[in-house]
């Protein structure tokens, strides 16, 4: 590879290469952002996520008890008293968390959210698992949006709307307070993570394509219009060599 030859060709057509560089840079920028009345705006939007974690439990903090108490339920005088657990089995709340995750993304929850205004993003809810892959009585409600602030706001509204949805249905069905499921917020949304950034692949491809085309055009023009250089044939002297010979004589 003769780098000096390549550099001479590029320097000869430096105006063409310079114009191609400006064109490639401009097209690459336009593939990444658009120009409108309000100025520049990105063609692709980022996707941010913020999450709230909710524990599915009941009153009196059963998670803090080593032994579940039992209570005696008196029946009619002719029957023996019935002994029932004071708290529900932990597996019950794991089952409820499995059910609650899709409910948190349902139409009724979204309708409650829209009372505070439009929802400029998406909602994702899922049951949490431990490191071993076992299901937990906890759900994660995420707000997804193109800006970190909106993602946090959607997660806050979604978790509040889901708790309101459960409480309203508990009251309407007449469930006693001591028998109701309690949705306890373990962590509020606040931290955000970038799920999808703006891809820079297209601007790079556009820039390289244009520059390769410009360089190729420069070499095509060089082949069509080569720069003439005097070459001495065997047995002949160039004009400079002839002048040098006469001077030495």
For the stretch 71-83, pLDDT in tens is: 545 555 555 555 5
Residue pLDDT, tens place only, 89-148: 778 999 999 999 999 999 999 999 999 999 999 999 999 999 999 999 999 999 999 999
Report residue 118 as tokens.
Answer: 């439009």
Give pLDDT, residue 65: 66
User: In this structure, are residues 50 and 190 in contact, taking their beta carbons and an 8 Å threshold?
Assistant: yes
- Give the predicted TM-score (pTM) of the model: 0.68
Query: Residues 6 or more apart from 12 whose CB is under 8 A from it?
Result: 218, 222, 227
**pLDDT given at position 68:** 61
| Domain edges within the chain | 47-196
Averaged pLDDT of the chain: 84
Averaged over 153-179, what is the pLDDT? 94
Cβ atoms of 167 and 177 closer than 8 Å: no
**Residue 246 reports pLDDT greater than 80:** no
pLDDT at 69: 62
What are the backbone angles phi and psi of residue 236, rounded to the nearest 5°? -115, 155
Structure confidence at residue 78 (pLDDT)? 58
Cα separation of 97 and 64, whole Å? 19
Residue 37's pLDDT band (cuts 50, 70, 90)? confident
Pairwise CA distance, residues 166 & 109, whole Å: 9
What's the average model confidence in pLDDT over 35-58? 87
Q: CA 231, 237, 239, 242: dihedral to nearest 10 degrees?
A: 160
**Cβ 185 vs Cβ 132: under 8 Å:** no
| pLDDT classification of 238: cutoffs 50, 70, 90 | low
The 3-state DSSP class for residue 180 equals: coil
């Amino acid at each position: 590879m003769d780098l000096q030859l390549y550099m001479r060709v590029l320097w000869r057509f430096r105006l063409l290469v310079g114009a191609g560089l400006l064109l490639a840079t401009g097209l690459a920028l336009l593939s990444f952002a658009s120009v409108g009345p309000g100025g520049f705006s990105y063609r692709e939007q980022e996707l941010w996520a913020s999450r709230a974690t909710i524990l599915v439990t009941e009153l009196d903090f059963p998670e803090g008890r080593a032994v579940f108490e039992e209570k005696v339920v008196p029946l009619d005088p002719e029957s023996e008293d019935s002994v029932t657990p004071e708290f529900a089995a932990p597996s019950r709340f794991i089952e409820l968390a499995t059910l609650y995750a899709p409910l948190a993304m349902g139409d009724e929850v979204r309708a409650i959210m829209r009372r505070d205004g439009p929802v400029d993003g998406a909602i994702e809810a899922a049951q949490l698992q431990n490191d071993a892959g076992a299901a937990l009585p906890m759900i994660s409600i995420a707000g997804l949006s193109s800006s970190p602030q909106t993602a946090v706001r959607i997660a806050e509204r979604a978790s509040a709307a889901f708790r309101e949805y459960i409480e309203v249905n508990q009251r309407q069905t007449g469930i006693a307070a001591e028998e109701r499921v309690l949705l306890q917020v373990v962590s509020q949304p606040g931290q955000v993570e970038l799920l999808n950034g703006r891809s820079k692949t297209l601007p790079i491809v556009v820039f390289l394509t244009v520059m390769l085309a410009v360089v190729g055009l420069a070499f095509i023009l060089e082949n069509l219009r080569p720069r003439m250089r005097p070459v001495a044939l065997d047995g002949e002297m160039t004009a400079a060599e002839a002048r040098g010979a006469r001077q030495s004589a």
